[in-house]
Structures are given as C-alpha cells and as structure tokens.
Amino acid sequence: MTEQFSRWDSSEYLKTEEDMAEYLDACIEEAGDDPAFIAKALGVIARARGMTQVARDSGLSRESLYRALSGEGNPEFGTILKVIKALGLKLHVQAAH
C-alpha cells in the first residue's frame, strides 16, 4: 500500500482577516532580515483571498503579483503596501524591546 501525501498549503487555513493578520505577523517575526520570506507570506495570503480580487483591489496585474509575491521576486515597497491595503490589512510598527 502506497501512502499519498498532499502538499501543505497555508492559504487553505486563512479564512478571516484576523487569521491573515496573525499569519503575516508570525511570518514577519520569523523572517528576520529576509524580505523574500515576507513577500511569499503575502503571496499565501493573496491566494487565500483570491489573487484576481487582490490584483483588482491593488491596481496590479495578476501576473505581476504572482511574480512579486513568489518569494523569488523582489517587489518594490510600494507594491507591498498596495497588497497589504488590498488585503484589508494595516502595517504597524512598535518599539523592539
């Protein structure tokens, strides 16, 4: 008997904006100084929301979003901000202790 495994997809578990915000917050904590990790996390959230809708809400094409948020791309900070806003999230900063 052969075991079959399916590929883990975090986007399947991000149902609410709160889930998405907590996921992104955890990824930012984990990322350290790796901006590609954060871009990829935004890509996961965008897939959970629906890439077509995120593209429409951000004013960017689906293709450019997939490329920028793949973890292989190098998106501009303006793109990151547009995606965060399109996802219904806000970026906050607090003092590191």
Q: Supply the pTM of this predicted model.
A: 0.86
pLDDT digits 0-9 by tens, 5-62: 888 889 999 999 999 999 999 999 999 889 999 999 999 999 999 999 999 999 999 9
- Residue 62, classified by CB atoms within 10 Å of its CB into exposed (0-12), middle (13-18) or buried (19+), is middle
Listed by start position, the domains of the chain span 15-86
Give the integer Cα–Cα distance in Å for 2 and 27: 34
Per-residue DSSP letter, 76? -
